Chain A
Amino acid sequence: GCSEGVVQGEDGGGEDVAAEETLTLVTAAMDGTPNAAVQDWFLTEVEERSEGRIEFERTEAYSLCDAPEIADCVRDGRAEIGVSIPDYTPVYFPSTSVVSVPFVGQNWQGITHSLHELHRNNADAEAVMTDNNLHFVGTWPVGRMLIGTHEPLESPEDLDGLSTRVSGPLAINLFEGEGTNVVSLAANEVYEGLERGVVDSAAASIDFPVNYRLNELLPYWTDPGVGEYSSFGMWMNLDTYEEMSEDLQQVIDEVAADLAAGAGAEAFYAQATEQCPSMLEAETLEGFTRWDEDITAAWEEETGDSLQSAWVDLATEQGLENAESVLDEYMAGLEELSDPEAQDATLTCIEEFSNQ
């Protein structure tokens, strides 16, 4: 820019100090979703704690870079910070995909915290990010897996013969093991697919029935105890991060640590509870329940270690070194950092339904 200085010099007398760093945000989190709430908490907090020295330019969701493209946009510097679903570009994120191991992740806050510690302390997990020219800010789960069906779903045996929209390799393994016909449909085609009978059921977090209005089409929603299965990630361009002054780097990292330690969970929970009325308002909703722990435990036992070793193989193949020890460290973190008292919006909503 040839006249940059001139403009600022002429009306620079005001009280607003120009930001030192203006970071463009690209995001796949739509306004009003719990994921956007987590993201917005981070952005606002950084702007405040840096006293305006860091400023974010928030582009509309999907406008500059489409969801599968966001990691690349941040990596190559078209945006400085990005929020998207790592599963879209699995090769970039073999470490955070550990969230997708069924049955393991049951506590939103614990997962978020453990992933944060993992990417600050484990060299192999960190290398995944730096090799991609990314600086890890946070990764958090999208919400517990629910299965929406036409008939009540009481045990894993009921999955036999269903045609289900499932995403993620480990969840697909799990469902296929029970005889489910797994159908691949883009997220925006699921409503139509259900309407036309291309699929008769869908496995997804509560976001899905609410945002895509699937609760109008499927009367029974069940939490089978699989837990968290997919995630949202937030990353910064590594060069941008490294070129920032040290105190600003510190602001970013402190806010990220606070997000992981509980602030993110609070923001997520607050917004996620607002989805509950939309979930329950559908007149067609007949059941919204949770399997007994015994049923889930039996199912988990039946699968054994196969899903965890499947993840280790997959992550290794995608370039994560020592995947097995990464998994162990993640699990140890879960044990240590999960707050058993923490509330889960999906479970609260299920309770609310049973009280109706």
Chain B
Amino acid sequence: MEIYHVVLLTLVLLVGLLCIKMPVALALGLAGAVGLVLLRGFDYSTSTLGSVPFADTASFTLTIIPMFILMGMFAVRANIAVNVFAVAHYFTRRAPGGIGVATVMACAGFSAVSGSSIGTAATVSRLAVGQMRASGFPASLATGIVAIAGTLGVMIPPSTFLVLYAVLARESVAALLAAGIIPGILSALSYITYIMIFGQRSVRKELARREGAGGDSGVDGDGERLGEAVEQARRELASKTVSLRELPWRGVVHVGILFLVVMGGMYTGVFTSTEGAAIGALTGLVILVIENRRRGGRHIFAAFKDSLLDTAQSTSMVFLIIVGSGIFSAFLVTAGVTQDITVWVTGLSFHPMLIMAMLLICLIPLGMFLESMSILVLAVPLLYPIAADLGFDGIWLGIMIVKLIEIGMVTPPVGIITFVIAGTANVRSETVFRGVLPLLVMDVITTTLLFLVPGITLFLPSLMT
């Protein structure tokens, strides 16, 4: 069989396995292993399977991933998101689309203590979707806001994606984490802008429609039931006459402490960014204990134990994908696909910016059938050498890749964050997609800006040297 046929066959096999619902990590691994058998035989493939699980996981720098996940788990159980949301809500209550703005701010705040987009989206959606619905947000917009703002989780440090990119591309972890801050804040501002300008209009429309439906707020425009949560949220809103002093400021303080420990601690010379993640997790535990001290030791221990079990589970899931992608990319390298693409692309006589834009845009269709972490693991070895060849900055490339993968996390057909929100908010995933789409326009604008002006991304990392 010609190599070209083997590659095609393996790709078809991969898509087939994904379509019949095989776990993504195993589909990648199996397709890669079968491809290696076709190229080099069974023994060769078995050697790869025997070595990748250890070679791709036993690395000190990768310990940062479970530590970031753990810190996020502690933060959830330390009520950080609840408290930040309450503070943000107080200050935005009179702004147009105020509670939507508060939601974005809560997502950005929680992103500063959680390395995960899914964790951020899931945590904030449980707090905010009901409240937004009660304030008149249609279901699609309410869930869309949480979904898109949840993507900030992997852009604003700490971020497992930025760490993994740094490891794969052999770039500085600290520089990548610093580089995520400004693009993250810009993205948050762009969502807020949209909500303040257009959100208010859909809220008014929705309220008028509910009015027209004879005050029957049990069914909204999407034909879905307004849950108990909404009723409860409405009651809460009505009963709330909080003063500035009574606000749970400690949530904001906790975010500040954790963010400073992780980011700022590295600058004092006491520890590196890898170690910073473990220190951050320990600090998260301390905050969890303080926050729950009145509820007793048994409650604290349960929260601690659950955080650990969830972290172990997520860690296994993430690393199995790394292993599966490792096997698949061993196949791509053995088949010479990576080199062929590099040779072909660098031989094109287009402007480097155009080539780079084309390659990055290719990540979006990849997001149609691949899970986000797999895209990252597969794309970096392909794109990084090309970008380096064309003279692009590796840190900037990391931010661009993560930004586009974020977009893939909320777009159909496979938008993992969308599924999570649909689950926690009890709506159809199409409803979330509908709410996300207009907000995606803001993301396209931000991404284009970041692409054309690399200085925005590279400003903070440049301060480090």
A and B touching (Cβ–Cβ under 8 A): yes
- Do the beta carbons of B1 and A1 come within 8 Å of each other? yes
> Please, which residue of chain B has its CB at the minimum distance from the CB of A7?
B2
Q: Which of A77-111 contact B (CB under 8 A)?
A: 77-78
Q: Which residues of chain A have a CB within 8 Å of any CB of chain B?
A: 1-4, 7, 24, 57, 59-60, 63-66, 68-69, 72-73, 76-78, 185-186, 188-189, 191-193, 195-198, 216
- Do the beta carbons of A192 and B51 come within 8 Å of each other? no
Least CB distance, B321 to chain A, in whole angstroms: 18
Q: Which residues of chain B have a CB within 8 Å of any CB of chain A?
A: 1-2, 5, 38, 40, 43-44, 47-48, 50-51, 55-56, 59-61, 170, 172-174, 266-274, 330, 333-334, 336, 338-339, 381, 385, 464-465
- Do the beta carbons of B51 and A189 come within 8 Å of each other? no
CB contact between A196 and one of B59, B60, B267, B465 (< 8 Å): that residue: B267
CA distance A66 to B61 in the complex (A): 15
Which residues from A are CB-within-8-Å of B1? 1-4
- Do the beta carbons of A64 and B44 come within 8 Å of each other? no
CA distance A131 to B290 in the complex (A): 58
Indicate whether A196 sits within 8 Å of B271 (C-beta atoms), given known contacts A59-B333, A64-B334. yes
Which residues from A are CB-within-8-Å of B267? 196
- Do the beta carbons of B339 and A59 come within 8 Å of each other? yes
- 16 A-B pairs with C-beta separation under 8 A: A2-B1, A3-B1, A4-B1, A60-B385, A63-B333, A63-B381, A66-B55, A76-B47, A76-B51, A78-B44, A78-B48, A186-B61, A188-B170, A189-B61, A189-B272, A192-B273
Least CB distance, B49 to chain A, in whole angstroms: 11
- Do the beta carbons of B339 and A60 come within 8 Å of each other? yes
- Do the beta carbons of A196 and B270 come within 8 Å of each other? yes
Least CB distance, A195 to chain B, in whole angstroms: 7
- Do the beta carbons of B43 and A77 come within 8 Å of each other? yes
- Do the beta carbons of A192 and B272 come within 8 Å of each other? yes
CA distance A64 to B56 in the complex (A): 12
- Do the beta carbons of B51 and A73 come within 8 Å of each other? yes
Which residues from A are CB-within-8-Å of B60? 186, 189
- A1-B1, A73-B47, A197-B270 provided; 18 other pairs, C-beta below 8 A? A1-B38, A3-B1, A24-B334, A63-B381, A64-B330, A64-B333, A64-B334, A65-B51, A65-B55, A66-B56, A69-B55, A73-B51, A78-B47, A188-B61, A189-B60, A189-B272, A193-B272, A196-B268
CA distance A64 to B465 in the complex (A): 32
Which residues from A are CB-within-8-Å of B333? 59-60, 63-64
Which residues from B are CB-within-8-Å of A193? 272
Which residues from B are CB-within-8-Å of A189? 60-61, 272, 274
Which residues from B are CB-within-8-Å of A73? 47, 51
Which residues from A are CB-within-8-Å of B50? 76
CA distance A63 to B47 in the complex (A): 16
CA distance A132 to B44 in the complex (A): 17
Which residues from A are CB-within-8-Å of B339? 59-60
- Do the beta carbons of A192 and B174 come within 8 Å of each other? yes
Which residues from B are CB-within-8-Å of A66? 55-56
Which residues from B are CB-within-8-Å of A68? 55
CA distance A64 to B174 in the complex (A): 26
Least CB distance, A276 to chain B, in whole angstroms: 23
3 closest Cβ pairs, A-B complex: A197-B269, A76-B47, A69-B55
- Do the beta carbons of A195 and B464 come within 8 Å of each other? yes
CA distance A6 to B339 in the complex (A): 25
- Do the beta carbons of A192 and B172 come within 8 Å of each other? yes
Least CB distance, A284 to chain B, in whole angstroms: 11
> Please, which residue of chain B has its CB at the minimum distance from the CB of A187?
B170
CA distance A193 to B269 in the complex (A): 8
Which residues from B are CB-within-8-Å of A1? 1-2, 38
Which residues from A are CB-within-8-Å of B385? 60
Least CB distance, A191 to chain B, in whole angstroms: 7
Which residues from A are CB-within-8-Å of B270? 196-198
CA distance A341 to B388 in the complex (A): 40
Least CB distance, A332 to chain B, in whole angstroms: 38
CA distance A59 to B334 in the complex (A): 8
- Do the beta carbons of B271 and A77 come within 8 Å of each other? no
